[in-house]
Structure 1
């Protein structure tokens, strides 16, 4: 890294050199607003280790360029073969200097290299799957999503946006929206607003003995979000894998049973899940 203010590549020039226009049908919306691109690396927490940065979906390299200035080493995962080749040509000097690796592949399938933090403009069509591949790894991240998805990630109990995504994301990290991005910042423009979410990894202030069951239990109850917790537990045993849902209901306090899933905190879900595991045999569920 250097203290001098770097001169970054122009996003429009990069797209011209790459010979691409973007394709909404393939989830390609290139971020072209220099001001937004410049701000993204700065949203990492101050204490984040920037020695090995991961970028999912490098595109034509506008964000990659900024990340190279913000960190010691960058790995880009790009599923489009033509764009991966372009990145290797465009940033050949950085690759030769062993400051950049370009991995051609799908971020859901490739073996991710060790990384210390991630800054990524995620492909919206797979943003949920990619996020929940990254979150359990416990690294600070700055990720861009559709605004509606981001709002659900950070939602509080009792709000209409609060759901399975909120509980699952907040189980792994403190999540906050740090910037909202209009469609005009992209080319081609998406039909929705976007938002940048900062994820600070944390250890939850509750105990979870079986994380897979906890997440499955949360998923199950939110399929019945308008029911009481009592009925949701009984109606979703086939999803959660509980062998005896009635036995679980019998040991849960009435004040929890009478609430609805959307009113429970992540800690409430954890306590319920632990009671369920202790009370009933647990199978694989759906």
Structure 2
């Protein structure tokens, strides 16, 4: 495997915290990241999970090198032009062998190729936006986040960390925090600890007719998480897009209305959003 410090030296760069650049340099963590795909399988998927791995934020290629050791093909997206050029030069043989594709650009803007899994040390400043671009693709994801963000993704109802991020993430996937990573694993070290989350796509045990409205409704009520659901629904109609929040309150169960958002399960949110869609939104025809 290529030495992470050697890659940084050859690239002639230093991580820039102002540009969200913290290069992962701990060999042990780098070696473990691809292993979190082991044992993951998707129902009805005949191909291998390592057929085509996507990496967002390739940096100087330390993780790219490890992914090439386990994957048939790898595509790496890097927004820093200098780093993208370095990856193209450093991995010229793998590119010539059609095993690696380097895309120079912003992962929020470029066209992503079909992929079987994604393993990435994400730029933390845009980790949420990137994650919610990847989750609807329905592929296993092994992603590095700030630890606090990761804990919110996997949080259970009734815990302080549980919130909009928990519900939205777990709507798309089973989320598991598989490793905490110390600051010293990066160059330069970030201000906070990091964590690796494994996200395995799943079909939720509830139905949602309008996914966009469901996610917007969840976002809305969590802006008033200290209020009861009764008040949160009424106070956030301008965010959720409800035309008649009182109709929703009149139709919902009293037990649910007395709860606060932090105690409402994803399934309860789904049922409530469906009810809100039915009685609280006016169609153009209506």
TM-score by length of 1: 0.95
Asked if residue 153 in structure 1 is aligned to residue 153 in structure 2, the reply is yes
Equivalent-residue separation in structure 1 for 2:237 and 2:38 (angstroms): 40
Matching residue within 33, 36, 39 for 2:32: 39
Instruction: Report the CA distance shift for 1:67/1:164 in structure 2 as closer, same or farther (over 3 A).
Output: same
Cα drift, residue 47 of structure 1: 3.6
Residue 213 of structure 1: CA displacement? 0.1
Partner of residue 110, structure 1: 110
CA shift at 1:46, angstroms? Answer: 1.6
Structure 1: gaps spanning 5 or more residues: 1-7
How many angstroms does 1:282 deviate by?
5.3
Residue of structure 2 equivalent to 1:27 = 20
Q: Could you report, residue by residue, the CA deviation over 1:22-63 in whole angstroms, capped at 9, with x for unpaired residues?
A: 100100000000000000000014244110000000000000
Corresponding residue number in structure 1 for 2:171: 171
Secondary structure (helix, strand or coil) at the match of 2:174 reads: strand
Deviations 1:62-95 (A, max 9, x none): 0000000011000000000000000000000000
Residues 245 and 280 in structure 1, CA contact (< 8 A), matched pair in contact too: yes
- 2-side partners of 1:282 and 1:122: how far apart? 40
Question: d(CA) in 2 for partners of 1:145 and 1:79?
Answer: 18
- Deviations for 1:77-122, whole angstroms, at most 9, x for unmatched residues? 0000000000000000000000000000000000101100000000
Residue 9 in 1 paired to residue 2 in 2? yes
Superposition deviation, residue 280 in structure 1: 1.9
1:221-263 CA-to-partner distances (Å, cap 9, x unmatched) read: 0001000000000000000000000001001000000000100
CA contact under 8 A between 1:78 and 1:103: conserved in structure 2?
Answer: yes
Q: 1:81: which partner in 2?
A: 81
SS in 2 for 1:43: helix
* 2:242 paired residue number: 242
The secondary structure found in structure 2 opposite 1:242 is coil
SS in 2 for 1:174: strand
TM-score, normalisation: structure 2: 0.95
Instruction: Please say if 1:254 is aligned against 2:254.
Output: yes
Match of 2:45 in 1: none
Judge conservation of contact 1:45–1:200 (CA < 8 Å) in 2: no
| 2:210 corresponding residue in structure 1 | 210
Tell me the residue number matched to 2:72: 72
Q: Once superposed, what is the RMSD of the aligned Cα atoms?
A: 0.8
CA distance in 2, matches of 1:95, 1:11: 20
Does the aligned pair in 1 maintain the 2:40–2:200 contact within 8 Å?
Answer: no
The separation in 1 between residues aligned to 2:282 and 2:28, in whole angstroms, is 51
Alignment correspondent of 2:123: 123
Instruction: List 4+ stretches of structure 1 deviating above 2 A.
Output: none
CA deviation string 1:156-193 (max 9, x = no partner): 11111100000000000000100000000001000100
Gaps of 5+ in 2: 42-48
SS of 1:128's partner is: helix
Distance 1:281 1:209 in 2: 13
